């Protein structure tokens, strides 16, 4: 997955920093129940997923200012939601399940 992340980052609107995932996301990946790559790609390209207009505007402002975190939410299946958070300083991007927040 590291090579895929490097390829994604080279075309991104912002640097993801170090990309990490929680134990819950890792387990779903290992089980073959989740491929996070397309969601990470969407996040890095400024497609914030299933957010309301206010949250989208907040992300867009944070992208321009570089002074706030970036948050995306994706409904993967009816029962599975993936969150992606890039820290304000763009040092780390975390893939997590809402229950792990």
Please choose, from the candidates 97, 100, 57, 53, the residue with its C-alpha nearest in 3D space to the C-alpha of residue 73. Answer: 97
The answer to whether the beta carbons of residues 21 and 96 sit under 8 Å apart is yes
The residue length of the chain stands at: 101
Q: CA-to-CA distance for 91 and 86, rounded, in angstroms?
A: 8
Q: CA-to-CA distance for 43 and 38, rounded, in angstroms?
A: 9
68, pLDDT greater than 70: yes
pTM: 0.90
Predicted pLDDT at 9:
60
- Give the rounded distance of the alpha carbon of 31 from its chain centre: 20
Three-state DSSP at 1 gives coil
Q: What are the structure tokens assigned to 89, written together?
A: 């300083």
Q: CA-to-CA distance for 11 and 89, rounded, in angstroms?
A: 19
pLDDT band of 47, cuts 50, 70, 90: very high
The residue among 54 and 2 whose pLDDT is bigger is 54
């Amino acid at each position: 997955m590291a090579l895929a992340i490097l390829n994604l980052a080279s075309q991104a609107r912002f640097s993801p920093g170090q990309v990490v995932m929680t134990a819950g996301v890792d387990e779903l990946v290992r089980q073959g129940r989740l491929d996070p790559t397309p969601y990470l790609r969407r996040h890095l390209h400024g497609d914030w997923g299933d957010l309301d207009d206010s949250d989208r505007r907040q992300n867009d402002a944070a992208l321009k200012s570089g002074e706030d975190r970036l948050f995306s939410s994706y409904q993967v299946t009816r029962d599975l939601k993936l969150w992606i958070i890039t820290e304000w300083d763009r040092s780390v991007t975390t893939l997590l399940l809402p229950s792990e927040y």
